[in-house]
Structure 1
């Protein structure tokens, strides 16, 4: 499987063998935002490993040049609330976070009771969480508005037979429930089925011969390219990992180039697609 950045920067993505470790629990989200008036990609990674939990943030410009990257480990260092300042192109980028009341399920990404804000010279680049009103006093309420849009997500999911995830394939679209079902235990001729909501949108029979492939489905009239690789489910270890990719709209590279050439009004009127990468582990 190509790395996450490669998947975002290319419109044609092929799913190949994944070497990810099932011991790592990770959610990675990419946002299209603006920094000093220009488009950029902000990648936020929530991870949970043997030593604890961590939050990593990196920012790349439209030419994929890394502007900055940093890591916050609030659980390891008891910094559930704090801030960090970095210099970026002559200005100060401040990361402000409060995870002291964050609520989690089984994954590393908080669901509620938190905020993470990126502020560049008092201009908000990105705000995450449901506690925006509680953001540090260094950010005025007028500056809390951010036009950032999530355009990609990668996560690890675990199940025996039915794997679930959620995705919004258009930035203003409906949040859809995705269900991937594949029973390989003792099945002579396994098949793969994907449902969006209650509707079956893809079924792959003779999976032993079609363990890798791609197909276009339609969600709310929008074409979504689906790629799958279930080789390790069929021929790997008992707790093997399969990889699924859902991609709508243009690639990240086209997003950034198009947004860079547009004025602010045109950019806000554009509707963005979405890329979802799922590492599905059998338990």
Structure 2
């Protein structure tokens, strides 16, 4: 079906491969992708909400998984300042050739606060069979009123989030590890520590280090990063354990614009009585989080020498956060 709405550059080949790093690098845009699993047309399907941002525009794309697992059905919206009418609208496409799926969005008053993904005053709704099968954003009453449809009997499940962000030394994002949990501020910083009397010709040996912070607290500190460029540790948030995996090989050993990959995988602490000796804990005033248990496999491939394919991230929780950090010199 021909799409009459302008397509942002970062979506030009996103539907062919959700991890098309060449497209991200060429466009130089931040990209946030949220993948949900829900029921559409009597089948369990994945819906992907993608936001992209560059100096000229914000872009929104909604895609529904096709019968063979490909993102076959999609809706794309280009948010340019001079196209106010495109900030609110709807679009329909057919699944299996006869089942109508409607996408409604209202971004007129959306607050981005400098982020790629809006933080408030918006909604994006996916409707099928007179049910709102997926609703993101805080304007829920407005969404139900405009669609004229009821909430779905089955709640969608957030399967994963994938973010591509650019920076020099520090990379920051916000994440919730459960739908009813609180937001956490996550920052990753790569530093160079100088040691006097080192092996370099100047007598100063530079050793890269990395710090990962949650809500301002250092939870992981990796020294001698040139030797520990791949690894994993555990941190604890309330009754939830979060496994953190990193692969920064290309930051250190590959020239040009390269990305590191970080995976954040939540697990209920109560499901593992033996705590890792390398675990770190931080306090939080939020109520305990509750996560469902599943054995659904999740895989990740970076398509570069810095691959995390060897890591086993199939834990008790469904959700995974994949953070691709592109280092700009």
Measured against the shorter chain, the TM-score band is 0.7 to 0.9
Gaps of 5+ in 1: 9-17, 256-270
Structure 2 matches for 1:112-127, cutoff 5 A?
112-127=120-135
Question: 1:140 maps to which residue?
Answer: 148
Question: 1:279 maps to which residue?
Answer: 324
How far apart are the structure 2 equivalents of 1:245 and 1:7? 16
Question: 1:192 maps to which residue?
Answer: 210
Instruction: Give CA deviations for 1:9-41 in whole Å, capped at 9, x if unaligned.
Output: xxxxxxxxx655171121111112222344321
CA contact 1:25–1:156 (8 Å) conserved in 2: yes
Aligned-CA RMSD value = 3.6
How far apart are the structure 2 equivalents of 1:181 and 1:108? 20
1:112 is displaced (CA, Å) by 1.8
Question: 2:111 maps to which residue?
Answer: 103
How many residues get paired? 257
Question: 2:32 maps to which residue?
Answer: 27
CA contact 1:184–1:234 (8 Å) conserved in 2: no
CA contact 2:30–2:166 (8 Å) conserved in 1: no
How far apart are the structure 1 equivalents of 2:236 and 2:248? 22
1:116 is displaced (CA, Å) by 1.0
Question: 1:54 maps to which residue?
Answer: 59
How far apart are the structure 2 equivalents of 1:39 and 1:275? 19
1:230 is displaced (CA, Å) by 1.9
Question: 2:91 maps to which residue?
Answer: 84
In 2 relative to 1, CA 155–252 (structure 1 residues): closer, same or farther, beyond 3 Å?
Answer: farther
1:185 is displaced (CA, Å) by 7.8
How far apart are the structure 2 equivalents of 1:156 and 1:184? 23
Please point out which of 93, 97, 108 is paired with 2:101.
Answer: 93
Q: TM-score, normalised by structure 2?
A: 0.65
In 2 relative to 1, CA 237–169 (structure 1 residues): closer, same or farther, beyond 3 Å?
Answer: same
Q: TM-score, normalised by structure 1?
A: 0.74
Q: Which has the larger radius of gyration?
A: 2
Which range moves more in the overlay, 202-211 or 34-43? Answer: 34-43
Question: 1:261 maps to which residue?
Answer: none
How far apart are the structure 2 equivalents of 1:47 and 1:121? 29
Which secondary structure state, in structure 2, belongs to the residue aligned with residue 134 of structure 1? helix
CA contact 1:115–1:135 (8 Å) conserved in 2: yes
CA contact 1:179–1:195 (8 Å) conserved in 2: yes
In 2 relative to 1, CA 185–102 (structure 1 residues): closer, same or farther, beyond 3 Å?
Answer: farther
Instruction: Give CA deviations for 1:121-163 in whole Å, capped at 9, x if unaligned.
Output: 2111111112222227552364378722323111233444443
1:62 is displaced (CA, Å) by 8.9
Gaps of 5+ in 2: 1-13, 195-204, 268-292, 299-315
CA contact 1:28–1:44 (8 Å) conserved in 2: yes
Please point out which of 199, 203, 219 is paired with 2:221.
Answer: 203
CA contact 1:127–1:144 (8 Å) conserved in 2: no
Which secondary structure state, in structure 2, belongs to the residue aligned with residue 133 of structure 1? helix
Question: 2:75 maps to which residue?
Answer: 70
